[in-house]
């Protein structure tokens, strides 16, 4: 009797896997492992999972919830002044998320772009949050940052913004907020780390910058703040990319095909 295929799937695991992490021993024994990006596939390989067992299947995005919306209408619903230039960052406060780098970039932008406002969506608690508030006060940037807290309507936050920033210092598999922003037809400025380049196509659907480089981040933000045509073109391309490759239907079909392959022993 043939053994049943075993497929491994897990979320929120930090790589490389430590000696004490059970997944370090489970993953190599599976028949197949799904990776959410090519970068995660590489990390899995370095953790001892044979490449032949790994299938890259990108996460999907809700194209109905995250859809293009009139910016002024989104601002009205959120109670925001639509005459200001909003840029969104959707992330909880963690040291590696890059909030500090964004603050440095804003110091370079504030004089030339007095109408700039950063919409921060994410839980407002913890040491990293308190440290960031202190840093803004020290730099005199408090008026440029609006703290929205944890939101269940991030699609409105993205729709009210010209674009999304993701200045992470370290890699993440394939950030869902990038896919969500692009589904809303908003370009993304992101650090060139981990899976970001697989969805943020440089000069096509957004701009990539070196992690931790506040000057490069500021330059990228200036380009999009000052060029509405570029923003719209990148946003439209991003939406098309989500429709073609990152829909829930596309992911479901890819998973179904993979399950069938595993069951048939291919």
The answer, as to whether pTM is greater than 0.85, is: yes
Give per-residue pLDDT as tens, 41-60: 888 888 778 888 888 888 88
Q: What total of structural domains would you count in the chain?
A: 2
Domain that holds residue 93: 71-244
Strand partners, 180: none
Dihedral sign of CA atoms 221, 226, 232, 237 in order? negative
Residues 43 and 101 occupy one common structural domain: no
Q: Is 52 exposed, middle or buried (0-12, 13-18, 19+ CB in 10 A)?
A: exposed
Residues 82 and 145 occupy one common structural domain: yes
Residues 98 and 32 occupy one common structural domain: no
Q: Residue 263 corresponds to which tokens in the numbers above?
A: 């069951």
Contact yes or no for 191/167 (Cβ under 8 A): yes
Give per-residue pLDDT as tens, 89-148: 999 999 899 999 999 999 999 889 999 999 999 998 899 999 999 999 999 999 999 999
Residues 120 and 207 occupy one common structural domain: yes
The Cα 258–Cα 255 span in angstroms is 5
């Amino acid at each position: 009797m043939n053994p049943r295929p075993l497929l491994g799937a897990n979320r929120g695991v930090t790589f490389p896997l430590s000696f004490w992490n059970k997944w370090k021993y489970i993953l190599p024994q599976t028949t197949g492992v799904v990776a959410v990006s090519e970068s995660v596939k590489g990390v899995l390989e370095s953790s001892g999972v044979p490449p032949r067992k790994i299938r890259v299947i990108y996460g999907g995005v809700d194209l109905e919830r995250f859809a293009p919306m009139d910016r002024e209408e989104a601002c009205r619903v959120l109670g925001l002044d639509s005459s200001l230039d909003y840029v969104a960052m959707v992330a909880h406060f963690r040291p590696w998320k890059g909030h500090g780098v964004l603050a440095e970039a804003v110091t370079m932008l504030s004089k030339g772009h007095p109408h700039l406002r950063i919409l921060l969506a994410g839980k407002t608690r913890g040491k990293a949050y308190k440290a960031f508030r202190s840093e803004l006060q020290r730099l005199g940037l408090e008026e440029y940052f609006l703290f929205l807290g944890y939101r269940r309507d991030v699609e409105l936050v993205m729709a009210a913004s010209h674009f999304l920033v993701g200045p992470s210092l370290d890699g993440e598999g394939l950030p869902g907020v990038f896919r969500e922003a692009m589904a809303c037809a908003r370009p993304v400025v992101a650090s060139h780390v981990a899976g970001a380049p697989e969805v943020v196509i440089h000069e096509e659907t957004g701009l990539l910058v070196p992690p931790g480089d506040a000057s490069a981040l500021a330059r990228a933000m200036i380009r999009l703040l000052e060029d509405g045509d570029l923003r719209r073109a990148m946003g439209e391309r991003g939406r098309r990319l989500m429709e073609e490759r990152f829909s829930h239907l596309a992911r479901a079909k890819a998973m179904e095909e993979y399950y069938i392959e595993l069951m048939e022993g291919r």
